[in-house]
């Protein structure tokens, strides 16, 4: 390839290159334009799209407007009113700041801007197509700004070809508008697609109400409030009960200082808080709002501003982990299922509710004050933009600071079971203060074993017992290769493995705990090796938890095991002493409840 001379690129080409980072798809355009409207102090933002945003995107706001003599600058690269000095990058308080958005959008679309300041009698309009700019010229219009983007990527057809279907692109736009609306409840949002209204969110000073308007009020009874102030970091949000867990992290929404972000550390903290309450492959439903000193976070690390860098990432991780874990500990996580109405189960005209769908619930609903640390607080309110959770927190009064030892507040004293029944040698039926309790004996005992193992290993390596004769296993080459990686983990759990040939492994010592429970050596080691070759085992704490979970499952009482009355009482007593007894380490429920009211209804008492 011949060498070309170094040259200064044309402005249009520079902007199109920048557009490759900033304007990925129609949703990216909507995000940038709505953020500009928020920075302009808008109280109402309307978004209209056609063809999934391919043909038309119109964002109209009632913000401060742009002076006519600054309209041309607005579409110039790196021109902005939001920062002026290098020091401003240290504490960014606006949604946008790079000055690239309008220039990038204009370079790949037909753009028009109509804007009028509140103090002006007339509006001004600017038209941009490629590198041709027309105006500004006088026009009529209400106070605020309306930006219209037509035929996105008309001059870069290769990029237009890679767009998805209209429905997919429109759905991504709805996701963007919802995310920005969640963190700015004091702003009204309207989204229309091809004339149809997709979102109509009225302004409110209650962030809880806006959150429920977006994620759906029908799941309100299955949501918990998390609210904490930890080391200068405010964490507030709504958490779904474990039964609402989803196959992906799409339903986890994280906002920092009013900005929707994607952060692996915060997502990891959230999943760690739910560990053992949901299946490992699933993610909780959660909407989290974090507020912290802007100087402690760098938002200038990603062109689309969706990723941030924390000065102290471990502090943020721990703040989220402790806040969410505390809310889960204080909640009643026993799933309840409602029995159908007698007339329905007897063949009445009404349709019976789906199994597992409660008609009443012991969980907190959000029609009044919520509780933090035993004290009642009214929902946070704010009239500023973006919502200032810290100011709202000051009006609520002091909140407890969560320390390193996250001890739960006083929990209600459990009602001692007075009658115990084992059903099909698999389930234990008893009662508590709310109704009939059905316990899966294997799932509960697995949780008990897991917690005991965690307690033991926190004090040191698990005890091991040397075998009189080593157990030799034939293995694959990949399983033999991971022996070195497993050395530290095996030492902690009391397992001693060594290569015994080109394709064999010898087990010289086995955890005493597993031998006492009658666990076979060979199947356990084979499962451990299989997990390690899949990348699930290693020296990390997460890998240790996985292996302890496997040990607990092998050692636990099985379905079909007959238990004496004393053993049943011991098992139920253990349920009251351990954490997270509502779920086994895999996340499956250990208990189900039928409420007293449902029982009374079945017998015609109400």
The model's confidence at residue 395, banded by pLDDT at 50, 70 and 90, is very low
Q: How far is CA 356 from the centre of its chain?
A: 24
Mean pLDDT within 367-389? 37
pLDDT of residue 478: 77
* pLDDT tens digits, one per residue of 306-328: 778 888 989 999 999 999 999 99
Beta-strand pair 286-291/252-256: parallel
Mean pLDDT within 460-486? 85
Res. 231: pLDDT tops 60 = yes
- Omega before 114 within 30 of 0, i.e. cis: no
User: What tokens does 599 get?
Assistant: 């029982």
83 contacts 97 by C-beta, under 8 angstroms: yes
User: What tokens does 281 get?
Assistant: 């492959």
Domain check: are 37 and 182 in the same one?
Answer: yes
Residue of 389, 384, 90, 396 lying closest to 255 (CA atoms): 389
User: What tokens does 112 get?
Assistant: 């028009």
Domain check: are 198 and 218 in the same one?
Answer: no
Residue 229 CB neighbours (<10 A): 21
Q: Phi then psi for 376, rounded to 5 degrees?
A: -80, 140
Res. 1: pLDDT tops 80 = no
Domain check: are 305 and 454 in the same one?
Answer: no
The model's confidence at residue 408, banded by pLDDT at 50, 70 and 90, is very low
Res. 513: pLDDT tops 70 = yes
Residue 404 lies in a domain: no
Sheet holding 504-511, edge to edge: 464-474, 504-511, 496-501
Residue 1 lies in a domain: no
Average pLDDT, the chain: 79
Angle at CA of residue 141, ends 138 and 144, nearest 5°: 110
Question: Which positions ≥6 away from 501 have C-beta within 8 Å?
Answer: none
pLDDT of residue 173: 93
Residue 54 lies in a domain: yes
- DSSP per-residue codes, 19-72: HHHH-SSHHHHHHHHHHHHHHTT-SEEEEEEEGGGTSEEEEEE-S----GGGHH
Q: How far apart are CA 149 and CA 32, in angstroms?
A: 12
Residue 376 lies in a domain: yes
CATH number of domain containing 226: 3.30.230.10
Indicate the range of 17-21, 232-236, 566-570 predicted with least confidence: 17-21
CATH number of domain containing 579: 3.30.1540.20
**Side-chain-side CA neighbours of residue 176 (13 Å):** 23
Mean pLDDT within 577-603? 85
Q: How far apart are CA 408 and CA 411, in angstroms?
A: 8
Mean pLDDT within 566-590? 86
**Exposed, middle or buried: residue 373 (CB in 10 Å: 0-12, 13-18, 19+)?**
middle
Domain boundary among 203, 230, 252: 203
Domain check: are 574 and 472 in the same one?
Answer: yes
Q: Which of residues 530 and 368 earns the better pLDDT score?
A: 530
Range ranked top by mean pLDDT from 288-302, 332-346, 495-509: 495-509
Domain check: are 174 and 212 in the same one?
Answer: no
Tokens 């015994």, residue located = 500
pLDDT of residue 305: 62
CATH number of domain containing 115: 3.30.565.10
Angle at CA of residue 323, ends 319 and 327, nearest 5°: 170
pLDDT of residue 404: 34
- Listed as own residue / partner, the contacts of 554-559 with beta carbons closer than 8 Å and 24 or more positions apart are 554/514, 554/517, 554/519, 554/524, 555/449, 555/513, 555/514, 555/517, 555/519, 556/442, 556/445, 556/446, 556/448, 556/449, 557/441, 557/442, 557/445, 558/442, 559/425, 559/426, 559/440, 559/441, 559/442
Q: How far is CA 531 from the centre of its chain?
A: 26
Domain check: are 228 and 353 in the same one?
Answer: yes
Res. 371: pLDDT tops 50 = no
Res. 379: pLDDT tops 50 = no
Question: Which positions ≥6 away from 267 have C-beta within 8 Å?
Answer: 249, 252, 254, 283
Residue 559 CB neighbours (<10 A): 13
pLDDT of residue 413: 42
* pLDDT tens digits, one per residue of 134-176: 989 999 999 999 999 999 988 888 888 888 889 889 999 999 9
Q: Which helix (H) or strand (E) holds 106?
A: helix 101-107
Indicate the range of 17-21, 188-192, 328-332 predicted with least confidence: 17-21
Domain check: are 443 and 319 in the same one?
Answer: no
Number of domains the chain contains = 3
Domain check: are 187 and 295 in the same one?
Answer: no
Residue 3 lies in a domain: no
Domain check: are 212 and 199 in the same one?
Answer: no
* pLDDT tens digits, one per residue of 59-89: 999 999 999 988 988 888 766 666 556 555 5
- DSSP per-residue codes, 127-195: EEETTEEEEEEEE---SEEEEEEESTTTT-HHHHHT---HHHHHHHHHHHHHHHHHT-TTSEEEEEETT
Domain boundary among 203, 221, 245: 203
Residue 4 lies in a domain: no
Residue 485 lies in a domain: yes
**Side-chain-side CA neighbours of residue 508 (13 Å):** 7
Residue 212 lies in a domain: yes
Q: Phi then psi for 239, rounded to 5 degrees?
A: -120, 135
Indicate the range of 19-33, 187-201, 355-369, 461-475 predicted with least confidence: 355-369
Domain check: are 184 and 213 in the same one?
Answer: no
The model's confidence at residue 501, banded by pLDDT at 50, 70 and 90, is confident
Cα–Cα distances (Å) from 426 to 356, 558, 591, in that order, read 20, 8, 12
The model's confidence at residue 393, banded by pLDDT at 50, 70 and 90, is very low
Share of the chain above pLDDT 90, in %: 31
179 contacts 306 by C-beta, under 8 angstroms: no
Domain check: are 214 and 321 in the same one?
Answer: yes
pLDDT of residue 101: 79
The model's confidence at residue 485, banded by pLDDT at 50, 70 and 90, is confident
Res. 594: pLDDT tops 90 = no
Range of the domain at 52: 11-203
Q: How far apart are CA 574 and CA 557, in angstroms?
A: 14
User: What tokens does 577 get?
Assistant: 């002493």
Indicate the range of 125-139, 413-427, 439-453 predicted with least confidence: 413-427
Mean pLDDT within 369-390? 38
Res. 272: pLDDT tops 80 = yes
Domain check: are 458 and 533 in the same one?
Answer: yes
Domain boundary among 203, 227, 249: 203
Q: How far is CA 27 from the centre of its chain?
A: 21
Torsion over CA of 244, 410, 419 and 345, rounded to 10 degrees?
Answer: -30
């Amino acid at each position: 390839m011949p060498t070309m001379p170094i040259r200064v690129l044309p402005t249009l080409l520079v902007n199109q290159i920048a557009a490759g980072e900033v304007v990925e798809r129609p949703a990216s355009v909507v995000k940038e334009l709505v953020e500009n409207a928020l920075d302009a102090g808008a109280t109402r933002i309307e978004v209209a799209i056609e063809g999934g945003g391919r043909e038309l995107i119109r964002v109209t706001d009632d913000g401060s407007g742009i002076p006519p003599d600054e309209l041309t600058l607005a579409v110039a690269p790196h021109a902005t009113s939001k920062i002026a000095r290098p020091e401003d990058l240290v504490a960014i308080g606006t949604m946008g700041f790079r000055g690239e958005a309008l220039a990038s959008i204009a370079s790949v679309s037909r753009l028009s801007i109509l804007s009028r300041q509140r103090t002006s009698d007339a509006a001004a309009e600017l038209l941009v197509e490629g590198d041709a700019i027309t105006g500004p010229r006088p026009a009529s219009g209400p106070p605020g700004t309306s930006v219209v983007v037509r035929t996105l990527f008309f001059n870069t057809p290769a990029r237009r070809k890679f767009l998805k279907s209209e429905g997919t692109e429109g759905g991504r736009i709805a996701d963007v508008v919802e995310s920005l609306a969640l963190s700015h409840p004091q702003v009204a949002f309207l989204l229309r697609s091809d004339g149809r209204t997709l979102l109509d969110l009225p302004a409110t000073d209650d962030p809880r109400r806006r959150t429920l308007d977006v994620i759906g009020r029908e799941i309100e009874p299955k949501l918990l409030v998390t609210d904490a102030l930890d080391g200068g970091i405010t964490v507030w949000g709504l958490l779904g009960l474990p039964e609402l867990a989803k196959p992906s992290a799409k339903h986890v929404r994280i906002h920092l200082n009013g900005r929707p972000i994607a952060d692996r550390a915060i997502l990891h903290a959230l999943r760690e808080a739910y560990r053992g309450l949901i299946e490992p492959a699933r993610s909780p439903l959660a909407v989290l709002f974090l507020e912290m000193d802007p100087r402690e976070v760098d938002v200038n690390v990603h062109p689309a501003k969706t990723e941030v860098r924390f000065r102290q990432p471990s502090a943020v991780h721990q703040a989220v982990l402790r806040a969410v874990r505390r809310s889960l500990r204080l909640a009643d996580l026993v799933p309840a299922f409602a029995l159908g109405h007698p007339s329905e189960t007897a063949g009445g005209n009404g349709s019976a509710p789906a199994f597992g769908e409660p008609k009443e619930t012991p969980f907190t609903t959000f029609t009044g004050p919520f509780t933090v640390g035993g004290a009642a607080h009214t929902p946070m309110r704010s009239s500023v933009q973006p919502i200032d959770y810290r100011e709202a927190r000051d009006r609520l009064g002091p909140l407890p600071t969560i320390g390193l030892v996250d001890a739960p507040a006083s929990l209600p004293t459990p009602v001692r079971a007075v009658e115990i029944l084992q059903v099909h040698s698999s389930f234990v039926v008893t009662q508590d203060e709310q109704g009939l309790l059905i316990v899966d004996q294997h799932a509960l005992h697995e949780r008990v074993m897991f917690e005991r193992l965690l307690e033991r290993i926190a004090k040191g390596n698990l005890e091991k017992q040397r075998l009189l004769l080593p157990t030799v296993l034939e293995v694959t080459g990949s399983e033999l290769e991971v022996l070195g990686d497993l050395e530290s983990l095996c030492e902690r759990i009391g397992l001693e493995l060594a290569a015994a040939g080109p394709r064999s492994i010898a087990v010289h010592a086995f955890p005493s705990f597993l031998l006492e429970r009658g666990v076979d050596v060979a199947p356990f080691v084979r499962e451990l090796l299989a997990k390690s070759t899949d990348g699930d085992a290693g020296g990390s704490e997460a890998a240790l938890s996985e292996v302890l979970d496997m040990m607990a499952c092998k050692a636990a009482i099985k379905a079909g095991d007959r238990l004496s009355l004393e053993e049943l009482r011991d098992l139920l007593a253990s349920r009251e002493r351990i954490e997270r007894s509502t779920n086994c380490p895999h996340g499956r429920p250990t208990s189900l409840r039928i409420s007293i009211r449902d029982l009374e209804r079945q017998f015609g008492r109400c």
